[in-house]
Amino acid sequence: MPFRVTFVCTGNICRSPMAEHVLRHHVGEAGLDVVVDSSGIDGWHVGEHADRRTVAALRRAGYATSHTARRFDPEWFDGYDLILALDEGHLRDLRTMAPDSAARAKVRMLREFDPVAGEDLDVPDPYYGGTDGFDRVLRLIEAAMPGLLREIKSGVTVG
């Protein structure tokens, strides 16, 4: 059975789809049996593609870009091994939605896997800014990948 990871941001058109594609690329290169997806806390953009600036940043870096936004459903907690929030607000919302302590324990911050992140674990929302904000978000996400991959490898069962 594959290890399952999801990323959660506000509307699922900027940060979380970016993180989804970056992790999917890395687990593919590592040959890991991991299912990666993403969603949003709010449903404003359900059914939409990722923001054009997200797509552009991913393409510049050589990542895939196919995406359709969806809203996180609290019934999904059982289906994931790791639920990664992109900022403190998402973390609070997800932990509030969690049906029990086991589900709450699955919810973590993406940047906690970046050893140089310090105390500010938020990935800032680039939506209201320019291209440079999307490039910065991509760098922050990529910086967390080595630590996240180590975490995933520790939870993947070898069959």
β 82-85/34-40 pair status: unpaired
Residue 108: other Cβ atoms inside 10 A: 17
Q: Which amino acid is at 7?
A: F
Catalytic residues: 9, 15, 125
DSSP letter for 106, please: T
From residue 61, alpha-carbon distances to 17, 139, 153 in Å are 14, 10, 24
